[in-house]
Amino acid sequence: MQTRNFIDGQWADSHAGRTFENRNPARHDEVIGRWPASDAGDVARAVAAAARAFRSWRLVPAPKRGELLFQVGRLLAERKEEIARVMTREMGKVLPEARGDVQEGIDTAFYAAGEGRRLFGQTVQPELPNKAGYSLRQPIGVAGLITPWNFPLAIATWKMFPALVCGNTVLLKPASDVPASATLLFEVLEAAGLPPGVVNLVHGSGSQVGDPMVAHPDIKVLSFTGSTEVGKRIAQQCGGTLKRCSLELGGKNAQIVLDDADLDLALEGALWGAFGTTGQRCTATSRLILHRKIAAEFTERLVARARALRLGDGLEAGVDVGPVVNAGRIPAIAEYVEIGQREGARLVLGGGAARDGELARGHFFQPTVFDRVTPGMRIAQEEIFGPVVALLTCGSADEAVEILNGTLYGLSSSIYTRDLNRAQKAIRDIEAGIVYVNGPTIGAEVHLPFGGVKETGNGHREAGTAALDVFSEWKTVYIDYSGKLQKAQIDS
């Protein structure tokens, strides 16, 4: 595997020659590789290459750009198992989830390829005679993409493929925890035949690579997925130059379980939503809002099932929950456990690092459940990003929705009920970009918009046709063939 940047169609070391180490979070003594610790100089080289390539790439017909993305999807499918195994080694999610992550990238490639034959505009009937009017999409320029570690391929492709099919060129900075997954993606892009400079990869930290990307005047659109705190800083900096900026940020997602719900189904959803990807998803179910009539039974069953989850290396068969992504996450999650107990919540399961036997070799945290949580507690308000779920109670569907809405975030949500009327009211009243009925809060499909409201983002969406609006400009065209001056918007 290449352990370099990819700039202007060539694999290259960072110009300063510094590197950083990448280790397996399930076996922290296992070094996966060393990667370029790049800086602003490498960013400048990559942006210059992308800007040069944009001049010709924007003129490639969109269907042809789509055909190249179709080839990318085919090659990703051929290397799916290899990429999934590398992904599990470097960020920890269990292998079936890693395969799903790669499949998301494959699906996005094929979906974006199809958009190459659409990229629809609008044709309308003008208000004046002998005149035509229509709109079309135009590329913006160099797109800077800053992506997280929890979905190394899916999120990178959610951003990259719509940007490319719209005619932009790309610079990707992946999270430092997942350089290998990003490198394999770029090996596929190179093999698919994308022209030099159209896609560029620069490894490194947020301060040394991400900040120069945000500040670079030739990056015309910036797409970031990460914490709300960092997203706000990026928005402020982009606002100073009116750089287009798309932010997909934090979440504090809740699953409502009403008294008429299928409890077996709701329990499966809660376990998957809370502990899938070790709780390290922006859509993770970090709150369960339980109707008082079923709260005691549901809590007992949830704790019993969560206690039985098997922790371990995600490459091993039968493992349910992998490690957290790095050593720094252990104290960060443990601090919230302490906060919850200080505020009066009851810890009913877990609460600390798991260090028995082979688990001592990695960064594992026990599946953790709190009950007697009230809406104002910090564990009910703040994103923890780990395998911790807070249980709250409600007396009605309306109260449940009120509790669900009572945070700064609004990404994903879920309600379990057999009552169609209550489900429809919840869909209407929940303040979130995603609502599931009788399904968990996690999971997305590439042909539907993904994103949230309030402090979850700045109004843009990823996936589906909505992603095209991030990476294209609208141009309106008027053609007057009357042969005389016609004054629009004049009262006649």
CA distance 279 to 441: 11
User: Residue 245, SS3?
Assistant: strand
Is residue 187 part of the annotated active site? The answer reads no
Q: Of the residues 90, 97, 115, 248, which is catalytic?
A: 248
CB 273 within 8 A of CB 255: yes
Q: Using 50, 70 and 90 to split pLDDT, how confident is the model at 1?
A: confident
Q: Using the predicted structure, report yes or no on whether residue 2 has a pLDDT greater than 90.
A: no
Distances (CA, A) of 365 to 240, 352, 407: 41, 6, 25
The residue written with tokens 């107990």 in the block is 341
pLDDT of res. 492: 63
pLDDT of res. 489: 79
Q: Of the residues 166, 238, 282, 394, which is catalytic?
A: 282
CB 403 within 8 A of CB 363: no
Over pLDDT 70: what percentage of the chain?
Answer: 100
Average pLDDT over residues 325-334: 97
Is residue 282 part of the annotated active site? The answer reads yes
Domain boundaries, the chain: 5-249+457-477, 253-437
Pairing of strands 453-454, 169-173: unpaired
Write out pLDDT tens, residues 38-95: 999 999 999 999 999 999 999 999 999 999 999 999 999 999 999 999 999 999 999 9
User: Residue 392, SS3?
Assistant: strand
Q: Using 50, 70 and 90 to split pLDDT, how confident is the model at 415?
A: very high
Task: From the options 3.40.50.150, 3.40.605.10, 3.40.190.10, 3.30.1490.20, give the CATH code of 5-249+457-477.
Answer: 3.40.605.10
- What is the CATH architecture assignment of 253-437? 3-Layer(aba) Sandwich (3.40)
